[in-house]
Amino acid sequence: MIIDIKNVSKKFNGNYVLNDVSMHLESGNIYGFSGRNGSGKSVLLKIITGLYLASSGSIFLNDREIDYKKEFIPNIGVLIDGPKFFSNLTGLENLKILANINSKIGEKEILEALEIVNLTKEKDKKYSKYSLGMKQKLGIASAIMEDPELLILDEPFNGIEDASVLKIKNYLKSIKDKKIILLSTHIKEDLYELSDFIYYFDASHVRSLDK
């Protein structure tokens, strides 16, 4: 998979949040996004997923421009702005509902995703009883369970204990060869440990950082 972001800008109320941003993304790499709150990291991730439309510019998938008014990037797993699930259902029940949308996986793959994030023991607990870290784990599980080619994780490790963070990191390293992984995080150590390339967002512009 190759994604080219070409001269993408986004304005809100006449003000640029992103201004003429370009990136070349290829499978086999983890791309780290860094920058202060409000610097445009999540906005670009939402444009890539189609949650926002760019004010100008284009996004290409394997050299073909995507018309987000008609289509989206296929085979994508996303965690942006924190997880959102049905509070009265269990973690497992929530993931089954999501899996039924595409009908690509069954309970086996869901349970495997829950094991990766160390949430197996809590799978039958109602989401309303989940801690912040457990909610984050369920969000990551929902993003990875269908084995997507493009995986987007926005501040994924919030509230997660160290042992589970280590397990999830090792999983991301093990799968990156056949995927594009976009990782937005404020934690410098995670950024440099996981990322092959790092982009820094500041004042609506983005620049590449040397590791």
What amino acid positions are annotated as catalytic residues?
A: 155
Distances from the Cα of 194 to the Cα of 38, 165, 169, 170, 173, angstroms: 23, 12, 7, 9, 7
Q: Position of tokens 């073909």?
A: 64
- 206 CB-side CA count, 13 A: 29
Which residues sit opposite 33 in a β-bridge? 184, 199
Q: Which residues contact 26 (CB under 8 A, 6 or more apart)?
A: 1, 2, 3, 180
Q: Among candidates 75, 80, 43, 41, which has minimal Cα distance to 61? A: 75
